[in-house]
Amino acid sequence: MTLYCKVVQLSNKYMIYQIIRTGCTKLHGARRLAEGRSVNASGPISAGHAEILLHCTCRGRRGGSSSIIRSRSESLTERRRSSGSRRNHDICCSRAHRGRWEDTRSLISYVVSKPVFIFSPSGVLGCSLVLSVQALYSSGDDVVELTAANFNREVIQSDGLWLVEFYAPWCGHCRSLAPEWKKAATALKGIVKVGAVDADQHGSVGGPYGIRGFPTIKIFGANKNMPEDYQGARSSQAIVDAAMNSLRSLVKERLSGKSGSSGYSKQGGGGGGNKNDVVELTDSNFEKMVLGSDDVWLVEFFAPWCGHCKNLEPEWAAAATSVKEQTKGKVRLGALDATVHQGVSSRYGIRGFPTIKIFRKGEQQPEDYQGGRSRGDIIAKALELFSDDAPAPEMLEILSEDILKNTCEDSQLCLIAVLPHILDTGAEGRNGYLEVMTKMADKYKKKMWGWMWTEAGAQMELEASLGIGGFGYPAMAAINTRKMKFALLKGSFSETGIHEFLRELSVGRGSTATFGGGAMPKIHTVEAWDGKDGQLPVEDDYDLSDVDLDDDFDKDEL
């Protein structure tokens, strides 16, 4: 007798063991195997919208047996069942169950609670359990399936506008979004490209864009290295509206003479970056450029004849362009020809090519780069280094239109707080609010958002356009000046309240509105707060001795 229970792995969280047993005499060995020894594990599959197919091939034999796998921790139980049939025959039986599971855990609970084996009059000699994940999108949809192999070609090198969803097949919110995403793709067909990336299978694609949760939607416009976050509702109408707004912005930029390219020149062979963004390092400039810098450096030591170095060159250039823009030059990529500038290369013991070293601010000894050599891997590491070393964003008071414009135009999102008047809180109260904002700015510093504040009544037009004015201070709004959209903090002005507000926005749950008039309001030039408590204005003393009061003042007549 031979029993087969195929090994599957569910999102690296749970494993059902393969048991191979030949003949009744091997029963105890099979039991020990089932109690915790994995054999011949297959590759991981995602456990989302899955189909469980129980399939048994039964070859009759007297004295057959049946088995049930109940969980990974329980042993294989055997119940011997005899049969009067002595004829060898083939019986093929199958049963399928289709259903939806909100997460991997609930799917596992279903699997381990169901019998794996189906009985026949002649006993069970073979059984396999097969899990096949149904993809959220297929070739019949208008949604373009994006992968690590085609993402650069389809999206990054494209001149058109792309809406890209990063999803996981096991994610319940992703499955809910799928029909709306398909509708939007059909409506935008021939106008805007709509794609989807299975981040479980192609995690490296989302790395450069800081994908942390699912679904995450990015809008790739003129600058493909700096996509915008989609902050709208998860309906096809809202998605289409956002796409058309971004398309109008792209067309306006091109009409005004701004570049509509991805931000770097396309190299022969496809996908390279701007070589000018890779700093050429030498023996003579290395000390000043790298060791004397306040920035973080990733330095490639290469040899011109090295084939691996040539393969890395376009990836290094593309990463340099993206990192320069995303970190505002705080993380830089350089390259040094180790065959020419042997002083530096020998100093750091360079023996093979390419070798990549990481130089942090103020540290003479570098660390080895251990990541992959794709642009995505390089960018992800650079952003990690940036977030480690970057200070919290500066908390700016809105003193003029230029301050607001420069801060918000350079950021995907601007957080603006309207704090109570200084006479209502004093310096201590105001500093308390600013401390909360500073902590949150530090927590989200990797996002590179702008953080600003103003005093109640100082910018009345701004308050009115945000629907804040007159009461309810402190208040906070998250604004996107490119889309002329904003969202208001509904919870408490605290670390917890602001964190929840930003989390809701990041997953597209927050409600947004359009600026009144569709444009930024007038910003007044005001004086900066001096950091002190407020002072009531001193009133002039009036001499009332010469005032002639009417004798009839006490009368009730008007």
d(CA 109, CA 101): 10
Kindly state whether residue 432 falls inside one of the protein's structural domains: yes
Could you tell me the two tokens for 98? 């289709």
Q: What is the CATH number of the domain that holds 415?
A: 3.40.30.10
Kindly state whether residue 409 falls inside one of the protein's structural domains: yes
**Looking at residue 119, what is its pLDDT?**
30
d(CA 191, CA 144): 14
- pLDDT tier at 255 (50, 70, 90 boundaries)? confident
- Is residue 232 located within the same domain as residue 322? no
How many Cβ atoms sit within 10 Å of the Cβ of residue 429?
15
d(CA 248, CA 229): 17
Reference 458, options 422, 502, 427; nearest CA is 422
**Looking at residue 471, what is its pLDDT?**
64
Give me the mean pLDDT over the 262-279 stretch. Answer: 53
What does DSSP assign to residue 256?
T
Kindly state whether residue 523 falls inside one of the protein's structural domains: no
- On the question of pLDDT at 518 being above 90, the answer is no
* Residue of 70 and 368 predicted with greater confidence: 368
- Is residue 324 located within the same domain as residue 439? no
- Is residue 285 located within the same domain as residue 201? no
- On the question of pLDDT at 6 being above 90, the answer is no
| CA distances from residue 356 to 111, 141, 276, 317, 373 in whole angstroms, order as listed | 47, 42, 19, 14, 10
Angle between helix axes 375-389 and 307-326 (nearest 10 degrees) is 40
Kindly state whether residue 545 falls inside one of the protein's structural domains: no
- Is residue 35 located within the same domain as residue 79? yes
Domain end residue (candidates: 97, 113, 133): 133
- Is residue 9 located within the same domain as residue 129? yes
- pLDDT tier at 539 (50, 70, 90 boundaries)? low
Reference 312, options 265, 377, 406; nearest CA is 377
- pLDDT tier at 204 (50, 70, 90 boundaries)? confident
**Length reported for the chain:** 558
Domain end residue (candidates: 102, 133, 164): 133
Kindly state whether residue 312 falls inside one of the protein's structural domains: yes
pLDDT digits (tens, 9 = 90+) for 404-460: 998 888 777 899 999 999 999 999 999 999 999 999 998 888 777 899 999 999 999
Give me the mean pLDDT over the 275-279 stretch. Answer: 85
Could you tell me the two tokens for 284? 């003579």
Kindly state whether residue 23 falls inside one of the protein's structural domains: yes
Domain end residue (candidates: 341, 372, 389): 389
How many Cβ atoms sit within 10 Å of the Cβ of residue 45?
19
- Is residue 152 located within the same domain as residue 169? yes
Residue with tokens 């409506």: 187
- pLDDT tier at 542 (50, 70, 90 boundaries)? low
- pLDDT tier at 540 (50, 70, 90 boundaries)? low
- Is residue 242 located within the same domain as residue 191? yes
Reference 451, options 509, 507, 410, 422; nearest CA is 410
3-class secondary structure for 334-388? Answer: EEEECCCCHHHHHHCCCCCCCEEEEECCCCCCCEECCCCCCHHHHHHHHHHHHHH
Give me the mean pLDDT over the 286-300 stretch. Answer: 93
* Residue of 494 and 17 predicted with greater confidence: 494
**Looking at residue 387, what is its pLDDT?**
79
- Is residue 6 located within the same domain as residue 129? yes
**Looking at residue 388, what is its pLDDT?**
78
**Looking at residue 283, what is its pLDDT?**
93
Is the backbone of residue 111 left (phi > 0), alpha (psi -120 to 50) or beta? alpha
Kindly state whether residue 243 falls inside one of the protein's structural domains: yes
Cβ atoms 164, 196 nearer than 8 A:
yes
Span of 129-143, 320-334, 364-378 with lowest mean pLDDT: 129-143
**Looking at residue 167, what is its pLDDT?**
94
- Is residue 223 located within the same domain as residue 346? no
Sheet containing 450-455, strands listed edge to edge, beginning at the edge strand earlier in sequence: 395-397, 450-455, 414-419, 475-480, 485-488, 513-514
- Is residue 160 located within the same domain as residue 188? yes
Kindly state whether residue 547 falls inside one of the protein's structural domains: no
Give me the mean pLDDT over the 228-240 stretch. Answer: 90
Q: What percent of the chain has pLDDT over 70?
A: 68
Contacting residues for 226 by C-beta, under 8 A, at least 6 apart: 263, 322, 325, 326, 412
Residues with catalytic function:
171, 174, 306, 309
How many Cβ atoms sit within 10 Å of the Cβ of residue 389?
15
- Is residue 425 located within the same domain as residue 371? no
Reference 523, options 462, 465, 473; nearest CA is 462
Give me the mean pLDDT over the 90-118 stretch. Answer: 34
Cβ atoms 275, 317 nearer than 8 A:
yes
Q: What is the number of domains present in the chain?
A: 4
Q: Provide φ and ψ at 209, rounded to 5°.
A: -110, 15
Contacting residues for 418 by C-beta, under 8 A, at least 6 apart: 453, 454, 455, 456, 459, 463, 468, 473, 474, 475, 476, 477
pLDDT digits (tens, 9 = 90+) for 311-351: 999 999 999 998 988 888 889 999 999 999 999 999 999 99
**Looking at residue 225, what is its pLDDT?**
72
pLDDT digits (tens, 9 = 90+) for 26-59: 333 333 333 333 333 333 333 332 323 222 233 3
Cβ atoms 89, 136 nearer than 8 A:
no
d(CA 250, CA 219): 11
Domain ranges, residue 334: 275-389
- Is residue 122 located within the same domain as residue 149? no
Mean pLDDT score of the chain: 73
Reference 273, options 239, 213, 338, 318; nearest CA is 318
- On the question of pLDDT at 390 being above 80, the answer is no
